[in-house]
Structure 1
Amino acid sequence: MRLFGYARVSTCQQSLDIQLKALAEQGVEPHRIFSDKESGSHLNREGLQTLLMKVEKGDQVLVKKLDRLGRDTADMVNLIKEFDNMGVAVRFIDDGISTDGEMGKMVVTILSAVAQAERHRILERTNEGRQEAKARGVKFGRKPKIDKTRVIDMRAAGKSATEISRELSIGRSTVYKICE
């Protein structure tokens, strides 16, 4: 039996380090760990697809937590079936469950449904918070680009850095940097 590992985070800004360390502590060799930095809402992930190509009957795939493998219950059930048809067991380290046996598959299916429901609740709370913030006047998105030529022209016209920063809603230090 060979051990493989899978790790996933949702964005490039997040770190895989904790998951990779947990997999290494379980004895997974670094060249047998596959990872993705993208959403778990679909199965078309490069690391996951490569893992599916590499595993063979009798292998075991370790994943730190259930939601790292996927978010959608139907996708998770299909993925577990696919591993099962290949004769590959999946073990979730933190959750203490494995797809070995019928009971394990049932528990994974139930927990997948719970994970999907939690994801929907998180999205609902996030959207509610965003709507409340908008109602209070909070603006989202990037700040508009600063028109550097306008700053230079205003400075040349004799306006102080404080006057320019107030008029354009930028920091005085920004005015000084532009005018250097």
Structure 2
Amino acid sequence: MPRIGYARVSSSSQDLEIQKARLKAAGCEIVRAETGSGASRDGRNELATILEFLRADDELVVLRLDRLGRSTRDVLNLVHELDAKGASLRVLEPEVTTAGGMGRMVITVLGMVADMELTFIRDRQRAGIEAAKQKGVYKGRRKQVDDLKIRRLAAEGASKAKIARDLGVSRMTVYRALKASGTKADEKIE
């Protein structure tokens, strides 16, 4: 039974090496790893690649269930997809596999816990942002593009859509920059 390992961290400041080492030690011949949120499968190309190439009797192995996903629905959908291919899921911490009936129930419970944990993380983040705003410390994300550059391009006659495309920002960012300068969004800057 070929074992394929999947490792994931949420941000580039986190280290994948511990997960990779544990997956190799568990007998994974192939280990795919990526950085990205576990809230959904969007943008998780390594996981998509694994799912595409899994065959009957293969086993997808993760260190902890939250590395696979934090949404109960996503996790259960993944288990269903694995079942449809004749493959199974193995979680190393705690040791659980979907190869048996009891394992599916445990995976469901662990998925619900991961989902609940994601809700708690978001609640704490929201509370922290609100507290920082009240202290006047939170200013939001740093600007990616200088307003002066947007105003200069508008003055040169570029459309708002073209400015947004060229600078890789939303049109709303362009409108805000023009509004902040006192320029109406539909007038040219002299």
Unaligned runs of 5+ in 1: 146-180
Structure 1's consecutive aligned runs of 4 or more residues displaced over 6 angstroms after TM superposition are none
Residue of structure 2 aligned with 1:43, choices 37, 41, 44: 41
Which residue matches 2:184?
none
Report what 1:15 is aligned to. Answer: 15
CA-CA distance at 1:144 after TM superposition: 10
What is the rounded CA distance, in whole Å, between the counterparts of 1:46 and 1:137 in structure 2?
A: 39
Give the paired residue count: 143
Please say if residues 90 and 97 of structure 2, whose CA atoms lie closer than 8 Å, have aligned partners that are also in contact.
yes
- Compared with structure 1, are the counterparts of its residues 83 and 142 closer, same or farther at alpha carbon in structure 2 (3 Å cutoff)? same
* CA offset digits 1:79-112 (Å, max 9, x no partner): 1010011111111111211111221111101110
User: Within 1, Cα distance between the matches of 2:16 and 2:83?
Assistant: 26
Pairs within 5 Å for 1:4-83: 4-29=4-29, 32-44=30-42, 45-83=44-82
AA in 2 matched with 1:108 = I
- The answer for the alignment partner of 1:166 in structure 2 is none
The structure that has the greater radius of gyration is 1
One-letter identity of the residue aligned with 2:66? D
> Which residue number corresponds to residue 91 of structure 1?
90
Structure 2 portions without partners, runs of 5+: 146-190
TM-score, normalised with respect to structure 2: 0.70
Q: Secondary structure at the match of 1:128?
A: helix
State the distance in 1 between where 2:35 and 2:50 align: 15
TM-score, normalization: structure 1? 0.74
